[in-house]
Structures are given as C-alpha cells and as structure tokens.
Amino acid sequence: MNLLRLSWKNLTFKPLNALLSVLLFALSIGLISLLLSLREQADEQFDNNLAGIDLVVGAKGSPLELTLNSMYHVGYATGNIKLGQVKAFFNPKHPIVEDVVPLSVGDSYRGYRIVGTIPKILDWYGAELAEGGLWQHDFEVVVGEEVARVNGLTLGSKFKSNHGIIDEGDENNIEHDDDFTVVGILAPSGTVMDQLVLTTNQTYWHSHETHNGDDADHENHDHAGHDHTHDHAPTPLTEEDPEQEITSLLVRYRNASSFQALNFPRNLNENTELLAANPAYEISEVRRQFDSGQRILGILVLAITVVSALSIFIALFTSLRERRYELALMRTMGAGRKKLFFLIVMEGLMVAVIGYVLGILLSHAIMALLAANVQDDFRYTVSATRFLTEEVWLFAAALFIGFLAAVIPAVQAARTDIADTLTHS
C-alpha cells in the first residue's frame, strides 16, 4: 500500500476530526481569496474609470457624491449647473484647463444610465466602437457592450427612456415620449462605458422639456430657437443658451503639477457657486475606508488560519497516541523513520489541499452572489470566474501551513521506539 493511500485511510479513520480541520482551513483560504479578489477588482474599477480626469465641476454639495455620480455613475447628482457658469472652461486658450467633457445625467433605460455628452468621452476612457458609428443627432445613442448584451439591443433598435435612475417595472416608472435610436455599440472596455447609454446633451434637455409639459413651441424648439427633430445635428454647447443646464463637467489640466492648477479647485469653491472635486483624492478616501474594512477582516482571517493550523496539529498529534502500535508494527515490517515522517506529513498536506480546493470554490461562489447583487444594485460587473495569480501563491502558502502543522507529529512518529511501544501495548 503506497503512502498516499495509507495517509488517506488514516485521515478518514476519524472523519469528523478530519472534516473539522478541512472546514476551518477552507474557511480561512476562502476568506483570503475573497479579500484578494475584491481588492483586485475594486482597484481595477477605480483606476480604469479615473480616465486621467483632474477635476469634476458641478453644483454645491458633497464632492464624493459628485465624483461618484459623474465618473462612476453611482448615486445621484448634487444638482445642475448653468452653461454660463462654466463657459470659460470651454475656451481653448484657458491657462489651466486643457480639455473638458460636459455631462447631463438624470434619465435611464432599464436601470442603465443615459448620459448626455460629447464623443470625446470615448477617447478619455479608451472605449472603441464595435459596431455602427457615433451619435451625431439628437436622440441617437451609442450603448455600452453590457447594455446591448443584457437588453438585446442591435443597430437600429428603438426604446424610450425612463425619468430618473430606476429599473424597468418600477411602479414610479415614467417614460419620456421620444424614441431613442441605437446607432452604435461599444466594444468591451472594462470601464463604466460598458454600462452607459450615450447621447447628446441637447437630447437630455429636449426630453425634460417634453416631460415637464412645456408648451408646443418648447417641445419643438429650444431656448435658442433650434429645431428638435431627430435628424438635427446638435449645436456646440458654447453657442447654446447660457441658461441651459448640465450636470457636471469633467476637466483635464494643461499641467496638473503647476501652482495654478493646485490652487484652482480651492479658488472655484471659495469664489464661485460651483463645487470642484479632485477625483483622485476622493477615490483615495473611498479606498482608505475600504482598506480599513479589509484590515479588520484580515485580522479575523489570520485568527481563523491559526485556529485551522492548530486543529490540524491537534488532530494529527492526538491520532499518534492511538496509532503508536500501528506505527511500531510498520517499523518491524521494514518501514524506515523517513517513511513514517512522510506518512504523517502527507496527512497534513492532504488536509491543506482539500481545504484549499474547497476554500477557492467557496470564495468564487460568494463572488458569484456578490456579482449578482452588484449587477442589480449598481449595474457594475464583478467576475466570479476570474482567478488571480495570488491564488497560486495562496496554494503554496496552504501547503506550507499544512506541512508546518504536521511536522511535529511527523517527527514524533519517526522517533517511535519499537521495543518500548510493543512491550507496553
């Protein structure tokens, strides 16, 4: 009988003891894997969606809410701002601002957010078209890969928007009258662009004018007298009525490290009715809170890992007392000290391997549950099938812990005194 089979039979001789050791070990491995996956995917989401944006400008309120709503499209807008308030930002000769992207948000399609903006946003996020072309007229939309896939949208598909950020079937669901037409579908980018419906800023205004029950002239003309027909190419925002509103402005600096750029947000906050938020700082605060939670969980995981290692040690050490006669007989039949040593070590490694496999399965099962909840609540994608390089190192750590827990009982087994054991048995 080879060592592997003999170790398995010894391990399963008392299945409840083995099961306790395996479950504790699986729990510790599963939690470590879960924390690593959450950290990796959260950091990736944060980093991908920063998109080189230096500043977010919007209405007074919470800078974190403004950042999350404008860049990650989570939560609700702090309010709207007038074009006249940010007209200077569009000036190509602005000494600090190199480029801007305006956002108009507030409506949705089956829970996915409709964003009025300009095509330049795709370059900022590194998104590319998989099919079709860019939106060029009002009520034309380009949809993210996930939006198209989940809702079965293709080029030429038409749909109506919902007022507010709500899901399809909500009892408060109010549809706008105008049909949107899909003219483009984005390739997967791993950014928030995958979950958005993009159109013109003017489309947002037209939809809300109709929704608010303006008169017939307003339903067909904007403040500047522009026609609202669907084949109307939008006027540049700099030529629109300065009283028109957008939700926020994404800003890139000419030189982010310059003295003027460093003081720019404070000057805006102190001297204007605008709120300027530094996205890198705001997201670092979110990460700091996330890290605090991870540290607390990390302490719990460490405690469980120590307990699981002790459980393996105690189970193996206790079993030696009951197997002293068996080990002595093995010695008389020619088994050397090394063979007995490796026999016990093999049992510890078996617990580690089984615990690791169950722990990884547990981790990814929890990730699958989280993915479903995050998808429903925030329309963000978390992958349960993604395996990390760190999980390979975790396997090596699991084997080391299994070996460490078994080494003292293995040494005791190797030192079994044949004559003394058989005499007192």
pLDDT at position 228, please? 47
Query: Which tens digits make up the pLDDT trace of 338-385?
Result: 777 777 788 888 888 999 999 999 999 988 888 777 666 655 677 778
Tokens of 199: 């159109």
Highest-confidence segment of 308-312, 359-363, 409-413:
359-363
* Confidence label for 216 from pLDDT (cuts 50, 70 and 90): very low
Angle made by CA atoms 283, 289, 290, in degrees to the nearest 5: 85
Give the start-to-end residue ranges of the domains of the chain. Answer: 3-45+294-423, 55-277
Its pTM stands at: 0.74
Indicate the average pLDDT of the chain. Answer: 81
Question: Model confidence over 237-249: pLDDT tens digits?
Answer: 888 888 999 999 9
Q: Which of 257-266, 317-326, 341-350 has the highest mean pLDDT?
A: 257-266
Q: What is the pLDDT of residue 204?
A: 87
Confidence of residue 4 (pLDDT cuts 50, 70, 90): confident
Q: Is the pLDDT of residue 224 over 50?
A: no
Range among 220-224, 353-357, 378-382, 413-417 rated most confident: 353-357
